[in-house]
Structure 1
Amino acid sequence: MASGIFKYTPIDRSSRQIRLLKFIPNVGLGDNLIRCYLETYEISQCPSFIALSYTWGEDSPGHKITLNRRPYFVRDNLWAVLCVLKSLIRPDLEPTNMPSITGSMPIDQQFNSKKLWNRFWVDAICINQQGDFERGHQVNMMRDIFSSADSVIAWLGPEYDDSNLAMHSLFHLPDRDWCPGYWGEYEQELKKSEKAIANLFMRPYWSRMWIIQEFILPSHIFILCGQLSFWRSDSWLNFTRLPETATEQKVVGKILPGYRSYWRSCSPYYHQRILHLLLSTFSKWSCSDPRDKVFALLGLIGDITSLSIPRLYPRTPVPLLADYTISPREL
């Protein structure tokens, strides 16, 4: 291993470059250290990749991996999902289409001999979080990143609080609205998993500001919790059909999946005019940087260069872009 900690090579901010993470097999190395390599691409020329949607957590980075053969440290939740993703990589196979998942089962069984593409976009690693200019540059590309990804993995976290039961139940939601007695045998099964489903919806993932656009923008969302997963473009929309007692959190169980369906049915013309609605709808979602209350929603607006900030620049309005060099008060 090369000496010294990992240092980022600057991205060309005059272009539309992004970095992608690739796992390096541990063949013959005799340990379980996660080894990765960062590659830089023009987004229009990227190979197939998967974007990761997850929560950072409040802990300090304490898990060691390597990037380009140099030490790099990540937080607990990211470490957990990297371990799962690494176990899926088949370096001996070429990329194939994403498998069509037919149920909630152990993720390694779902993939069998199929390969999960060995290129990922993970914000905490692929963006130099210490560089304000780069952060702004990459945040302004979030719409393109999550729209260009072949799929998005929504990592809900490790298995606990009967999440396996909840995942099984949610996958098998009937494709029709709920009313007492109408779901037949499934209604009895739902009662058994009611608390587990409520606990799943109360996880920190659902209250994070950044997951709003990460959940709404992609065509396909691959849901991963512990070792269980399913992948269908429409599964999460069925959450709006759950009875209130099955979620206990109307904001999570109804608004976000419902808004995904609503937003995707609207025209791009409408997307450019809904910033005020987004700010109101998702005002209670959390983020560590108050500026992200606005920046985390810009990807849903469409052509953000058509918006401007006349109060901050009264003489010459400028496009509303993510800019971490300005203060929350200025924003």
Structure 2
Amino acid sequence: MSTLQHESFGAAERQIKLLEIILLGDKPRYSLVQGSVEDDEYFALSYTWGDHKNRRMVQVDDRNLSITANLSRALDDVAAFCRSSEPGRTSILIWVDQLCINQRDDEEKSEQVSIAGDIFSSAQQVLIWLPLHRDIKYGFKDWTSWHDWHDQQITSPHSTSLPSGRIAMSYTAISQPRQDYPVVSEGDAVVKNQLLAWENIHSIVTSPWWERAWGYVEFLLSQNIIFLFGGLWASSDELKVLLELYERRRETHLKFCTLTLSMLKHQEQQGGQTSKFCGCFGGGDDAPPKDPNVANDQKQYLRRHSQHLSDLTPYWSRVSNHFDSRAEHHSMDDTATTPLSTLMKQARNYRVTETRDRVYAFLNLANRKCDIRIDYSLPTKTVLIDTARAMIQNEKRLDILAIACQDRSNGSKTGQTPSWVPTWSTKEDPDSPYRQFLRQIQFPMARYSYGGGGPGTRASQSSAPVVFFFPNGIMQARALFVDRLNLMVAEDASKLFRTFVTDSGRKVSTVRAAEAGDEIWIFLGADEVFTLHREGDFYVILGHAMVRETGGETSDVLLGSMMDQLLYPLMRLWAT
């Protein structure tokens, strides 16, 4: 193992750079050394980069390097953790992407990202640093005392014990700081402690790390995890148990808050004296406060708190998904694989700095036969085309066409990707405009992802796609011509679709971008029916088409009635 300069890198397979943190002295010192995934015991850091413009200088060997402020804070917490957990230790080795990969070298970055999964799965310990925006440690000594107090607030409602040190009461989990909850009695202290405990948990749950695509993948692949947050550290299992405890009580807590607010509203309407509501939290006296302003402040605080409980539902779902997915991943057989299309449907819900990372991160969880080369010198458009092609070739389905339609409806134009290529930019949302469009045209939900009930559509039955790929994003595919839009008969400005009569007299409801002359086609290997617009010798896919016969009944072409035709025209698709 040798010291090396930041710009140099050993090209041997599975070699990595490691940051050595020297713990001797008052402040940690740093050095970059050559290492190996197989041969070295090292930590790995999972964190969020934060604001790229908010930077700090760190000295590594004899050089000053610029890193984000988030990483600077994370390294300080890593050093504190190591000094506390192993007092006699003089140094550690840790893999940190910002310093262990030359971010300006696309070749090195591509090589290292291609083994990122192995780096995290082989690490002695993965440290996950959560960038909390509030000091939740307060005067607590360590995780044990912090955990016990938070456990007590939810399991022992009458507790009035206070953490040692100061208590700051401001709600910063998802918005600006809030006014302190007023305390004028012992009962108020009970309520305040319990609200404080909830807000501390919420600050963990709403940490931006849970939204990070790479963080999700690193979490699943890691064997041994320690969370670092606010000067505390806990194992993944310890944190999971506490979060699950609060998640189980969340609905009950929300009901209490809602019930209390209803009670106070009723009292106000009756013109009676407003009572205090600490009794709803299990303790304290219910005598009304002497100062009416205190009662009003408490009520307003609880109203905000209750609203935040509802707003945070998606955050809790994301955290639960992390832990559930990790358990499922570690229980899988070594030979088990997950289709890349399934993984990319998950990836679309996570944040990335750039679109290519959404693909490259989740490749670490995919079937290695995907044959997608990680290469940061490639344009995003090329990466997306290669990914779509690999899915079609490996999974022998064209269901991703439906996802591509949804992405295009969201205004996604990543390098003007072809219309058959998903950009994976639209989060899974049952109320997204495209989902609303599908509901408005009463489209039978297909099997692939929308989760609709009933048999769904199966326009091409079990037929496999017949496709050929050409440069510039051109795909050639076998498809059945169904009909041509002739005359638009309905357009409502409040709706997301247009309705046409076709050449054969059918009624077709489809996207607002459709025009008379556009055509309805069925692709072999796709469940749905699509509207296509012709541009010269090529076609652009516009969106789903709901086909009804002349009597108004759903056309059985959606269920594969045209598959008995033996001759299929060959068509080409291209997006400008």
Query: Does the alignment reach a TM-score above 0.5?
Result: yes
Q: CA contact under 8 A between 1:50 and 1:121: conserved in structure 2?
A: yes
In structure 1, the partner of 2:445 is: none
Change (3 A) 1:281 1:173: farther
Q: Does 1:9 align with 2:8?
A: yes
1:1-331 equivalences in 2 (<5 Å):
7-12=6-11, 14-24=12-22, 27=25, 32=27, 35-46=29-40, 48-60=41-53, 62-87=55-80, 108=84, 111=85, 113-115=87-89, 118-158=92-132, 160=134, 162=136, 171=147, 184-185=155-156, 193-233=197-237, 235-236=239-240, 239-240=243-244, 242-243=247-248, 244-245=250-251, 248=313, 249-270=315-336, 272-301=337-366, 304=368, 306-307=369-370, 319-331=371-383
Mark the runs of 5 or more structure 2 residues left unpaired by the alignment.
160-192, 252-308, 384-576
- TM-superposed CA distance for 1:88, in Å, is 5.1
Between the aligned residues of both structures, percent identity stands at: 24
Distance 1:169 1:190 in 2: 16
Q: CA contact under 8 A between 1:89 and 1:116: conserved in structure 2?
A: no
- TM-superposed CA distance for 1:267, in Å, is 1.6
- TM-superposed CA distance for 1:232, in Å, is 4.9
3-state SS, counterpart of residue 34 of structure 2 = strand
Distance 1:129 1:195 in 2: 37
Change (3 A) 1:113 1:163: closer
Distance 2:67 2:51 in 1: 12
3-state SS, counterpart of residue 285 of structure 1 = coil
Query: Residue 36 of structure 1 aligns to which amino acid in structure 2?
Result: Y
Q: CA contact under 8 A between 1:173 and 1:238: conserved in structure 2?
A: no
Change (3 A) 1:330 1:148: same
Q: After superposing the two structures, state which structure 1 stretch, 135-144 or 244-253, moved more.
A: 244-253
3-state SS, counterpart of residue 118 of structure 1 = strand
Change (3 A) 1:184 1:41: closer
Query: Residue 20 of structure 1 aligns to which amino acid in structure 2?
Result: L
In structure 2, the partner of 1:179 is: none
Distance 1:202 1:169 in 2: 22
Distance 2:134 2:23 in 1: 29
Higher strand content, 1 or 2 = 2
3-state SS, counterpart of residue 40 of structure 1 = strand
- TM-superposed CA distance for 1:140, in Å, is 1.0
- TM-superposed CA distance for 1:120, in Å, is 0.4
Q: CA contact under 8 A between 2:21 and 2:29: conserved in structure 1?
A: yes
Query: Residue 326 of structure 1 aligns to which amino acid in structure 2?
Result: L
Query: Residue 13 of structure 2 aligns to which amino acid in structure 1?
Result: S
Distance 1:26 1:168 in 2: 27
Q: CA contact under 8 A between 1:222 and 1:232: conserved in structure 2?
A: yes
The number of aligned residues is 279
Distance 1:186 1:140 in 2: 50
Query: Residue 319 of structure 2 aligns to which amino acid in structure 1?
Result: G
Distance 2:233 2:49 in 1: 20
3-state SS, counterpart of residue 59 of structure 1 = coil
Q: CA contact under 8 A between 1:139 and 1:322: conserved in structure 2?
A: yes
3-state SS, counterpart of residue 382 of structure 2 = coil
Distance 1:279 1:170 in 2: 38
Query: Residue 298 of structure 1 aligns to which amino acid in structure 2?
Result: L
Distance 2:33 2:323 in 1: 33
Distance 1:186 1:252 in 2: 28
3-state SS, counterpart of residue 129 of structure 1 = coil
Change (3 A) 1:300 1:64: same
Distance 2:332 2:382 in 1: 31
Larger Rg: 2
Q: Deviations over 1:218-251 (max 9, x none)?
A: 1111010021111255643664562355763233
- TM-superposed CA distance for 1:284, in Å, is 1.9
Query: Residue 151 of structure 1 aligns to which amino acid in structure 2?
Result: Q
Change (3 A) 1:112 1:295: closer
Distance 1:119 1:83 in 2: 14
Q: Which structure is richer in relative contact order (CA contacts within 8 A, separation 6 or more)?
A: 1
- TM-superposed CA distance for 1:156, in Å, is 0.4
